[in-house]
Chains A and B, each alone.
Chain A
Amino acid sequence: MKINRRDFLKTTALTSMYFAGFGVPTFAKSSHKKNLVVIMLRGGMDGLCAVPIRGDKNFEKLRSKINLDRTLKLTADFDLHPALKTFKRLWDEDNGAIVHATNIPYTGRSHFDGQNLMETGGKIPYQVKTGWLGRGMKTAGLTGKGLALALPMPLLIRGVPMNNNYFPVGDRLPSNDTLKLINQAYKEHNEKMLGENLDTIMTRELRNTASDDSWVLASNAGQQLSKNNGPRVAVFEVDGFDTHAAQGATDGAHADCLSDYDRIVSGIKQAMSKESFDNTLIVTLTEFGRTIKQNSSNGTEHGYGSAVFLAGGLVKKAQIHTDWPGLKRKELFEGRDLNSTIDSRSIYASAMSTVFDVDFKKITKEVFWGENLQNLSDKLFKT
């Protein structure tokens, strides 16, 4: 089936009517702690490879070498990449959803500027030194509640003090007495950041001797997030989406990266209690999508619009939320990329509003400089 933009707008309009009257944010009085997990997909995730449109002959022609020969069916209009098995199971349980034709409002096609902006949420690269998630946590008063499953502290989560990260060294630490001496020296030298990091190391309960396999990391994150006094936010990174050559299709480079994402979701879920997973939201973030057309190296170039995966018990229902721009040449961004019709920062602002129980307007004001973002909380999440 070939869908056009108008059909989708119709669906959107109906949905909006259904929710008329629910516009005022109401905060769930759930006693259970709610968690937000963000998985960064670095390199430019190809939303059209992960969530391809069904039955568009033109699209299939443009991607003759990288079309998927096997897909998982989502809706009458969209399929899912077969590497996303866990996600599909969640979708079937109404715990998975997709926002399509979306991205941050950045069209420059540079990875590094793009990744900087996807993490800061800003519009001018390298201007902001904190991440939207870090600022959101600060607004919500979530000091010491962030956990990054990465060796460096991602920019995304910077901006609130006392974040932790976990990427075990596989070795034991020097004695606590020695650490205390070092901490003392940091304090005397006014090394605030170093001191904070060392405080975190000395007080946390994480095993430094474990391995840093992504499954181990995801399981640990799941366990930590399940604890009542544990972190409320976790951040993961998956590299390698920049497939200029040999992108592959059902198998191959892009498929492997999607599998990595799927494995993290699966690892988190299996380590969590049902109640905790019911109160968790896992969202993805990328710097841009990729060109609709394959290049002669059977890869794709840097593009614009992509897709965002939503998973976890706080997802409202299995759905593809989109204002589909179409894939005809004139409908593409600059004649080459899937357009972005939804500012993905609206999704992230809504996610933070829902999970952190903070008024949406407060989030847009304090995290996104009062930019005009759309409140999608009622549409996408269980509020």
Chain B
Amino acid sequence: MKNFFRKVSFGIGPNEQVPADPLKWALDQVNDVPELSWKGKIYSEKELRKHYRDYVYGDRKVLRIKYKDNKTLYKTHKNLLRHQTGQKFWESLEISIRHNECINSKHPVLAKLWMFWGNFFAISEKDYLANYSTGPYQREIIRPNLNQSFEKMVYDVTTSWAMIHHLDNSESAGPKSVTASDEWRRRKKEPATINENHARELLELHTVSPQAGYTQDDVIQLAYIMTGWQQRWSKKNLETGNVWFNSEYHQRGKKIVLGKEYKKGKKSLAVVIKDLVNHPNCRDFVADRLCRYLITDEPTKEMKQPIIDAFKKTDGHLPAIHKAAITVAFNYNKNYKKFQTPENWFIQIAKIADLEWPPSPENMASYELGTKPTRKQRLPEKILERLGHPPYRPKQPNGWSDYSDDWLSPELLIRRLVYADRSYAFTKPKNDNKEFYHKIISKNFDEPEKILDYVFKNMVHRKSERNVLLFNHPEFLKA
């Protein structure tokens, strides 16, 4: 049963009580979205986007021109610019804030769901977004919506700067729009065409999924509805201006998506999103993904149904959907154990073993813009990269996989062996004793004696190998 605490959360820390009513304990955590519990400074998305702006502008408009004949000088100055804009630091800070929420907050269940939605609406590795913007996008767009409706979440995601940039919607111009007949287009031979990227992913990944059977024409028509939603471009800010609706880029006339007609104009995006999130395939898709994340690679119809019902009944109110998913996870807990992804696994180690993880707010606060971050300050980014699961760098817009087989390979297993070993380096001196291990194993395993014997009765070459044994035990790899 105790695996439930890792299934929907990250396990029980050494100073926490094992909840007497696990289901209630979990359900109570998803009603509200409290302030983040990170004690250090948290930068706004706009502040970090400003650094992104300084980097792209400085590189493109200054250094490339100034050092166009000297590659070495260009490289040197570009490296300086990276540090001036904190390029090697923000991602680690964001991961620290994220992990702190999982490990030290009073609502780790909510944090686990935050991770789920951040990956559902993933921003993939592109144009330095992970270095500056993906973390704040997850904090400011995804997290505040965890107690709102799915519809609002989709709308906020779709019109967010990060997603618009990620999926190229600024590049999309209606062939029958005001800009289409601009003189410069004729002169520069750049006719107005749509960019389908964002529209396709809004259908495929963010709402109805291909199961809905939409056609290429539906994609095109949705792309027409989305024309005009773009970053406000300026000579000073380049592509880092706020998102706005540029009616000059908007395709004239009515559009038809999945058989329904939409008027021209700004408001149609909200209307079409409302219809997409109320499509039966959307509910099924969300239920399927939640079950896959928490319970099993192969969710059954029976598992999904309560989540679909909650979605329908509450018009997609996320706390209701989350509660239904948690309850299903609880009901199926005994017979379904899900192989944990590397990031989830690593956070569980840190929480259960009370590691010095993530780096402290004081340590992160000692970073000075313009300097190179210390090795310790860069650890969050580095470790997750080595584990094969850097959360803000999925390769493609469908995010990181929730299928167990995608996380099983000799090399991925090697990462777990190596980083379980390395986790020992983060052990607090006061915890480096058998009593401590006894305590944490008792709190997190149903048959603690068996696990204790395994970890302590066997000979190991180095103390750190006890962590290798414990955290690679089959019962710990799954939850």
Contacts and interface: CB of A to CB of B under 8 A. Distances in A.
Contact of B396 (A112, A171, A179, A193): A112
Interface string B209-250: 010000010010000000000000000000000000000000
B461 A178 contact: yes
B409 A174 contact: no
Given A169-B386, A239-B395, A302-B196, A175 B408 contact: no
Contacts of A152: 388, 401, 406-407, 409, 412
Interface in A231-288: 239, 242, 244-245
B274 to A, nearest CB: 23
B449 to A, nearest CB: 15
Contacts of A179: 417
B88 interface: no
Nearest to A64: B189
Contacts of B464: 174
A185 interface: yes
Interface stretch (A21-29, A92-100, A158-166, A345-353): A158-166
A167 B398 CA distance: 23
A334 B219 CA distance: 14
Please classify how large the interface on chain A is, using the bins under 10, 10 to 19, 20 to 34, 35 or more: 35 or more
B168 A129 contact: no
Interface string A131-149: 0000000000000000010
Contacts of B195: 244-245, 295-297, 299, 301
B474 interface: yes
Given A111-B396, A185-B454, 4 more contacts: A109-B200, A165-B409, A175-B461, A197-B408
B408 A153 contact: yes
B279 to A, nearest CB: 17
A296 B405 contact: no
B196 A194 contact: no
B249 to A, nearest CB: 10
B213 to A, nearest CB: 10
A191 B414 CA distance: 16
Nearest to A166: B411
B469 A112 contact: no
A14 interface: no
Contacts of A164: 410
Contact of A197 (B401, B409, B461, B474): B409
Contacts of B475: 189
Contacts of A111: 396-398
A129 B408 CA distance: 14
Interface in A169-183: 169-175, 177-179, 181-182
26 contacts: A42-B395, A64-B189, A109-B216, A110-B200, A148-B409, A152-B401, A153-B405, A166-B411, A167-B411, A171-B422, A173-B417, A174-B465, A175-B460, A178-B468, A181-B469, A185-B454, A194-B477, A197-B408, A197-B409, A239-B396, A242-B396, A244-B168, A244-B195, A296-B193, A299-B171, A334-B216
Interface in B443-460: 454, 458-460
A332 B407 CA distance: 40
Contacts of B421: 174
B409 A151 contact: yes
A185 B474 contact: yes
A64 B188 CA distance: 10
B405 A129 contact: yes
B268 interface: no
Contacts of B294: none
Which among A168, A181, A189, A296 has the highest number of chain B CB atoms within 10 Å?
A: A296
B361 interface: no
B418 interface: yes
Interface string B385-401: 01010000001111001
B472 interface: yes
B194 interface: yes
A352 to B, nearest CB: 22
B469 A201 contact: no
Contacts of A200: 410
**Pairs of residues from A and B, 4 with the lowest C-beta to C-beta distance, nearest first:** A297-B171, A153-B409, A189-B474, A175-B461
A164 B409 CA distance: 7
B341 to A, nearest CB: 11
Nearest to B192: A296
B264 interface: no
Nearest to B415: A169
Contacts of A296: 171, 173, 190-193, 195
Contacts of A125: 210
Given A173-B417, A194-B413, A295 B458 contact: no
Nearest to A199: B410
Contacts of A382: none
Contact of A165 (B210, B411, B473): B411
A165 B410 contact: yes
A117 B367 CA distance: 47
Interface string A102-120: 0000001111110000000
B156 interface: no
A295 B411 contact: no
Interface in A337-374: none
A296 B193 CA distance: 5
A129 B195 CA distance: 32
Contacts of A64: 189
B204 interface: yes
Given A182-B472, A197-B408, A245-B195, A112 B398 contact: yes
